[in-house]
Amino acid sequence: MRYIALILTFLTLIACNKEQDKQKPAATKVAKKAAIVKEFGFVTNDFKVVHDTIKSGDTFGGLLGKEGYDVARIHTITESIKDTFDLRDIRVGKPYTLFKDKKAPNALQMFIYEADNLSYYVVDLRDSIAKVTKTVKPVTVKRRIIAAEIEGSLSETLSKAGASPALTHELSEIYAWSIDFFKIQRGDKFAVIVNERYISDTIYAGVESIEGSYFEYKGEKKYAFPYKQDPKSRKSDYYDDEGKVLKAMFLKAPLKFSHISSKFSSRRFHPVQMQWKAHNGTDYAAPTGTPIMTTASGVVERTGYTSGNGNFVKVRHNGTYSTQYLHMSKILVRNGQRVTQGDVIGRVGSTGLATGPHVCYRFWKNGVQVDALKQKLPTSIPMDGLHKPKYLAYVAPLKKQLDSISNIKFNPK
């Protein structure tokens, strides 16, 4: 009997616990809130968002028509916004975004057009009268220093360092008078202090400015610092660490990007004529259509065509120097025309005796053809002595920073 009583008591306790569990409120499940996502300043969670690009034949009115707007309403909208948003500026390939009512998918609420990386238009259709606002995204400038050894070309090296092609272009422009980038070699070194623009702090938007740089080229450091002798001047000139101007009378090459395929030689095997003969020029191989620049200012002395030279241009720079550019696909100047250093005078081609597209660059000194790559050419006007002390004080900390970075980068202890 005693054991039976214990069993009954145990069963009673179990029954009581179950009853208490039934009376306990059920655990409340907490639903996770959807993360808030914003685009163009609007919470996208509240809309059905459609991204697309303007295609050939698309118009603002046509896009509204696809969303169910009738002709009368489209006319009213376009008339109300034409003074703030020129609808003729909508271009093929540009992105646009539609914000639609989630409950009524065809009820377009807003049309957003991205004119460029920096700005966008919002056409708000939620009221009876359409409204347009233009927003310019914030731009920040970030300063950084890049130091590296040349591996391949300058552009390849900068790309590996995380720099954009825009910086390659800037550096090639700065050193166009002092460095022949077709002759840089693996192991040459450089460092640059650059300020870069970023849209909304994340999207790269180009080079803002270069504070200073150097190239270790042929065992010599060539510095470049921008400086305005005249504060009213729009553009800075570049000077080295001693105040000598980098800009010279002649550019180092007639092309910005290519490679030397054949140098000046008194004896070279001609690939077309199949014989040994002198090559009184320097060949720069490049794709057909590449711009050819005059390496110095002057007057176009002669343009024309010969069976050997193809289309050519010859420029007289002064009583001492002349240059000639051969095998052009197109001539862009005329006889007697004055040209400025860096002007495009023609396009690379393969006319005349040529096995492929290139420009043969010829150089005359006192009427004799010479090797342009071996000439010690005249420089431009030096810095005014009144400005030099101020300039040297300005560049001293920049030079020190470049040198310290290069020592850490290239000569680790």
Residues 6+ apart with CB under 8 A from 246: 174, 175, 177, 178, 224, 237, 238, 239, 240
* pLDDT of 175 above 90: no
Q: Show which of 136, 165, 188 is a domain's final residue.
A: 136
Per-residue confidence band for 12, with pLDDT thresholds at 50, 70 and 90: low
Count the neighbouring beta carbons within 10 Å of the beta carbon of residue 125.
21
CB 209 within 8 A of CB 226: yes
CATH number of the domain where residue 186 is located: 3.10.450.350
The verdict on pTM exceeding 0.85 is no
364 within domain boundaries = yes
Backbone angles phi, psi at 307, to 5 degrees: -65, -30
The total domain count for the chain is 3
Backbone angles phi, psi at 13, to 5 degrees: -65, -40
Residues spanned by the domain of 358: 259-374
Count the neighbouring beta carbons within 10 Å of the beta carbon of residue 212.
22
155 within domain boundaries = yes
407 with 337, same domain: the answer is no
Q: To the nearest whole number, what is the mean pLDDT of the chain?
A: 82
Query: Which tens digits make up the pLDDT trace of 177-221?
Result: 888 777 778 888 889 999 999 988 888 888 999 999 998 887 788
334 with 287, same domain: the answer is yes
Provide the residue type at 299 as one letter.
V
CB 391 within 8 A of CB 243: yes
> Count H helices, E strands: the chain?
6, 24
Q: Show which of 91, 109, 136 is a domain's final residue.
A: 136
| CA–CA separation, 338 and 146 (whole Å) | 39
Predicted pLDDT at 384: 76
* pLDDT of 412 above 70: no
Query: Which tens digits make up the pLDDT trace of 316-356?
Result: 998 889 999 999 999 999 999 999 888 999 999 999 988 88
Per-residue confidence band for 273, with pLDDT thresholds at 50, 70 and 90: very low
Mean pLDDT of 58-66: 92
* pLDDT of 274 above 60: no
Place of tokens 């660490």: 241
Per-residue confidence band for 30, with pLDDT thresholds at 50, 70 and 90: low
| CA–CA separation, 138 and 41 (whole Å) | 13
Q: Show which of 89, 115, 136 is a domain's final residue.
A: 136
297 with 370, same domain: the answer is yes
Per the model's pLDDT, the better-predicted residue between 52 and 168 turns out to be 52
Predicted pLDDT at 275: 41
413 with 271, same domain: the answer is no
Mean pLDDT of 216-240: 84
Mean pLDDT of 97-118: 87
Nearest CA to 271 out of 347, 358, 362 is that of 358
Query: Which tens digits make up the pLDDT trace of 347-382?
Result: 999 999 888 899 999 999 999 998 887 777 776 656
Per-residue confidence band for 112, with pLDDT thresholds at 50, 70 and 90: very high
190 with 226, same domain: the answer is yes
Dihedral sign (CA 246, 285, 169, 223):
negative
Question: Please, is 279 exposed, middle or buried when counting C-beta atoms within 10 Å of its C-beta (0-12, 13-18, 19+)?
Answer: middle
Per-residue confidence band for 34, with pLDDT thresholds at 50, 70 and 90: low
